Amino acid sequence: MGGGMTIVERTQVFLLPDLGEGLSEAEIVEWRVAVGDVVTVDQSVVEVETAKAVVDVPCPYAGRVVTLHGAAGEVRPVGQPLITIAPLDGGDEPAGHATYREEERAGSGNVLIGYGTGHGTATRRRRRPRLAVAPEPADAGPTGGTGAAAGAVSRDPAAPSAALVISPIVRRLAREHGVDLDTVRGTGPGGVIRRADVEAALTAPAARLAAVPDPQVGSAPAGDGDVIVALTGVRKVIADKLSRSRREIPEVTIWVDVDATGLLETRAAINAATPDAPVSILALLARICLSGLRRFPQLNARVDTEAQRIVQSAGVHLGIAAQTDRGLLVPVMRDAQRLTTAELAAELAATTAAARAGTLPPARLTGGTFTLNNYGVFGVDGSTPIINHPEAALLGIGRIVDKPWVVDGQLAVRKVTQLSLTFDHRVCDGGVAGGFLRHVADCVERPALLIAAV
């Protein structure tokens, strides 16, 4: 018994770390190791999905894996045990370590908890298949059939046509959008269905299925043809954050129409001079915002309600609202005021691309102090956006269109856009907010003013 106690005392338990501001849990996507494996310091041991991103989690301990706390598809709270490691004591490798099943050979090569490596120490309960309503053929009558199980996780030899799905994220995505996995062609090794395969199937009308009404969702029963979408993941985080913003922040929106002809001409001149480093309109607007925030730092702030104080940030951590397949994300460019205009343009392009690809770490999606939102890409002129809590302000840009405009007393056709500023009335009054918006508008109309201010 004394020896057993010694082993327990020597083990080190790695707790699920805080993966980003406001994230209290993460779902295990795939274990990179199995019980009995030897790991090194900072080796990635598990892939998890938070409400904001899919990330690999490195282990700070070296040794042999004793316990994996949780199975693929299970949600673990931050601060709870994730993996237990015991120091190496010269023992032999466990028997059967090189034995893999079909699911592992077909996957990425990483082992999922419960699929086994011959250790026999970890098990996974198979989920019951979830049936989805099959699409009704064009010549079908009022009754229709049902699709095959969408929740299968391995190929059954007795049913070779069953969908081969390893990732619980893929199963959940298919379930939420009503995609019959048996109709999806897997492009992964061995025919494994990946997330990209499900997303591609969403664009095919034949693959769209009506979601199964869940009587436990909501207080009112679902009617015929109603689509039930679970408020989970990114959608839930967005809903919670926007609701909190509206509850806590007394926001005000002001706006102004501006002649952006000069800004477009300036961009064209810059790009003609530096064709290898093109600058976008959004990058120029970001530069103008940075100039405005230097003049009006009251808007580069947040309200600490617990301490009853306003905190003005020393650096501008500029958030860029980006629409992605996973929802509206606001990736942050830290200390954006230190970047040149060309660097801003390059960082903007890289950041938005990474956000849409889902490769940004959670830390890049938090900590902003001011947000820039180009909703003009959706073909709209104006908006009264909700502030990205706990920030104090957000500048929105509408579409740039030809409109009649008076120039030097003469009517002309100019490139016109609408700028809107939503601000927290607790951090400043209308004079500061109006001064900032007017500075931005003046720089858009006369970019020479921006050069004079930098």
As a 3-state breakdown, the chain gives helix, strand, coil percent values, each rounded to 5, of 30, 25, 45
Supply the pLDDT for residue 204: 57
- What is the tens place of the pLDDT at every residue in 403-421? 999 999 999 999 999 999 9
Catalytic-role residue among 119, 177, 389, 425: 425
Closest CA to 82 of 164, 2, 139, 16: 16
322: amino acid identity, one letter: A
As a whole number, mean pLDDT of residues 228-253 equals 84
Supply the pLDDT for residue 203: 62
Supply the pLDDT for residue 421: 97
Give the model's confidence band at 26: pLDDT under 50 very low, under 70 low, under 90 confident, else very high: confident
Q: Does residue 425 have an active-site annotation?
A: yes
Supply the pLDDT for residue 38: 93
Which two three-digit tokens encode residue 165? 């799905």
Cα separations in angstroms, 323 against 19, 51, 200, 221, 329: 22, 15, 18, 31, 6
Measured CA to CA, the distance from residue 351 to residue 332 in angstroms comes to 8
Supply the pLDDT for residue 183: 80
Supply the pLDDT for residue 98: 33
Give the model's confidence band at 293: pLDDT under 50 very low, under 70 low, under 90 confident, else very high: very high
Q: What percent of the chain has pLDDT over 70?
A: 72
Closest CA to 168 of 113, 237, 243, 116: 113
Measured CA to CA, the distance from residue 314 to residue 301 in angstroms comes to 9
Residue 291 in contact with residue 198, Cβ under 8 Å?
Answer: no
Measured CA to CA, the distance from residue 112 to residue 31 in angstroms comes to 5
- What is the tens place of the pLDDT at every residue in 69-101? 999 888 888 889 999 999 886 544 433 333 333
Give the model's confidence band at 425: pLDDT under 50 very low, under 70 low, under 90 confident, else very high: very high
As a whole number, mean pLDDT of residues 286-299 equals 96
Measured CA to CA, the distance from residue 440 to residue 394 in angstroms comes to 13
As a whole number, mean pLDDT of residues 257-284 equals 95
Give the model's confidence band at 138: pLDDT under 50 very low, under 70 low, under 90 confident, else very high: very low
Q: Which residue has the higher pLDDT, 110 or 258?
A: 258
- What is the tens place of the pLDDT at every residue in 310-346? 999 999 999 999 888 777 889 999 999 999 999 999 9
Measured CA to CA, the distance from residue 402 to residue 381 in angstroms comes to 12
- What is the tens place of the pLDDT at every residue in 430-449? 999 999 999 999 999 999 98
Q: Looking at the whole model, is its pTM more than 0.75?
A: no
